[in-house]
Structure 1
């Protein structure tokens, strides 16, 4: 029998990775919302997250404000942005230009999404448009391959969506897992789940995914469950009923303070269940508000590594004209 090699015997080989932490932000719609968002960003930056994701509307409906937010994150903070990108309504040529601009200006993480179809059916697919996230992943890898010198032979981190409950348009949960496996085969590095409300849903998703051959990290996306209106709206969008006991507790709370305490504790319980099931990280959907997210983080008591305190400065901003298609 051969002796163990240095990697096998080195003590660092057995050290567990810290739990990853990330937040989701969306581009502000008004100057007042922008001021509020930047207060939130500064508060979240102090927790040393591993990255923050920036949403991007289907067909790039918030393209200019998304570009501006990405630019400011790169120029004015130490935060690492994960840029959402949707392919619905865009041609392969347009998407390649967008990806190129993102990479050349310092973005090193992209969340590749199909994007939602408008419910009124108003969206038209131009010739040469992409229809699936899997196609977008392959396009990103193609752009990356042509720019290995720029990336120092590195790789772009590509994330995708995963669904603890059945996707509203999917025929079955089994089909969702097949799609996730196909995304992995096309080059996805990790997945972030859509919102879920029941503690066992994350563990069940991971179990089914691993059985099917999915090996990439699956990060639970957790929403602070403090708003009854938001909870009900997301339940309608996802087709998943929120926990009835939580809905009743929020509805019968005497004031906003009590509602917040109830919702934060429910969120902590959901996140802890995911961590107990082996989740490699927590992704918090902030809705551009830091208060409840920080309370959840405080109660979870996740250890955070120190990060550099200096802000990165860039000479060339992302080009809104290029992203404008």
Structure 2
């Protein structure tokens, strides 16, 4: 027997969210054993009610089977929404079309369009998409073809933004021009690469708004608890963490103190950025939920109302 639900009842039961957007990045598992551990991490992160979890993929989609494994788990076994990474380098246009259709068929409605890191010595082929902007355009083209099967729905497309100058970019002004082009191609929001100083994010925000960019620029944070991980990130991104932070982590008496130092640094950085008007935070978890949950435990996300985020949208 069916029951009748009235609008006042819906209004009373509808959840009211005041906090900034919250999301996490996950890496697909490399083995069945690590997938079991990853499922446990997903379970803990799900309990915090994030808006989505991003699923990374290797350049060229060499781990596509594992990407789909994690994506299907998130869709079938959790209440989470996946944001699946697409990298254009190393895949032909035809291969990307196949992957996009496969993800949409599985129910994915969030895609992060990236060029991907150029492998050493890699030369772009004629059938490769060289940049993120034309990848965004490809996703929108496929979306238009599938409007009926998507029930008129829209795919949400994220892109990358760079608080520091991209290693291959001549200037930060060029980075801003690229971000403008991504927005015009159909991007909905951007997630920043890692940074360790709030004014660096604020500078990105100011340059983007001055250029007319209206995309929400979601800051990406790594819980700064592991000095070796921070060193690897610096080597990959060219963004070095503060020497003082590294020194304090290295001379810490034990892992407990090291974790306390790194979490405190990350919480302070996130607080300053949210105070400056960031629309949310994206945590690079490295498939470890403990540090991410520590950061959240020390952040009062409800103090930043949605009204205060209007400046960045």
TM-score normalised per structure 1: 0.86
Q: Within 2, Cα distance between the matches of 1:134 and 1:159?
A: 11
- Could you tell me how far 1:172 is from its partner in structure 2? 1.1
1:12-40: per-residue Cα shift (whole Å, max 9, x none)? xxx99531000000001122211211111
- 2:6: which partner in 1? none
- 1:237: which partner in 2? 236
- 1:18: which partner in 2? 19
Q: Is the 8 A contact 1:27 1:65 kept in 2?
A: yes
Alignment of 1:143-182 (within 5 A): 143-182=142-181
**Structure 1: runs of 5+ lacking an equivalent:** 1-14, 305-325
- 2:72: which partner in 1? 71
Q: Within 2, Cα distance between the matches of 1:107 and 1:218?
A: 22
Q: Within 2, Cα distance between the matches of 1:154 and 1:75?
A: 20
| Aligned-residue RMSD, C-alpha | 1.5
> Helix, strand or coil: the match of 2:111?
strand
> Helix, strand or coil: the match of 1:85?
strand
Q: Within 1, Cα distance between the matches of 2:101 and 2:125?
A: 21
- 1:116: which partner in 2? 117
- 1:61: which partner in 2? 62
Matched residues, number = 288
- 2:13: which partner in 1? none
Alignment of 1:190-269 (within 5 A): 190-269=189-268
Q: 1:214 to 1:17 in 2, by over 3 A?
A: farther
- Could you tell me how far 1:58 is from its partner in structure 2? 0.3
Q: Is the 8 A contact 1:90 1:125 kept in 2?
A: no
Q: Is the 8 A contact 2:194 2:239 kept in 1?
A: no
> Helix, strand or coil: the match of 2:301?
coil
Q: Within 1, Cα distance between the matches of 2:156 and 2:40?
A: 28
Q: Within 2, Cα distance between the matches of 1:198 and 1:150?
A: 44
1:99-134: per-residue Cα shift (whole Å, max 9, x none)? 111112200000000000113x1x353432100000
Q: Is the 8 A contact 1:161 1:193 kept in 2?
A: yes
- Could you tell me how far 1:63 is from its partner in structure 2? 1.0
Q: Within 2, Cα distance between the matches of 1:27 and 1:218?
A: 25
> Helix, strand or coil: the match of 1:188?
coil
Q: Within 2, Cα distance between the matches of 1:127 and 1:240?
A: 32
Q: Within 1, Cα distance between the matches of 2:265 and 2:105?
A: 41
> Helix, strand or coil: the match of 1:107?
coil
TM-score normalised per structure 2: 0.89
Q: Within 1, Cα distance between the matches of 2:242 and 2:195?
A: 10
Q: Which of the pair has the greater relative contact order for Cα pairs under 8 Å at 6+ separation? A: 1
1:40-76: per-residue Cα shift (whole Å, max 9, x none)? 1000010110000000110012111001110111111
Q: Within 2, Cα distance between the matches of 1:143 and 1:66?
A: 21
Q: Is the 8 A contact 1:21 1:281 kept in 2?
A: yes
Alignment of 1:27-42 (within 5 A): 27-42=28-43
Q: Within 2, Cα distance between the matches of 1:41 and 1:152?
A: 29
Q: Is the 8 A contact 1:90 1:126 kept in 2?
A: no
- Could you tell me how far 1:199 is from its partner in structure 2? 2.0
> Helix, strand or coil: the match of 1:112?
strand
Q: Is the 8 A contact 1:85 1:111 kept in 2?
A: yes
**Structure 2: runs of 5+ lacking an equivalent:** 1-15, 304-313
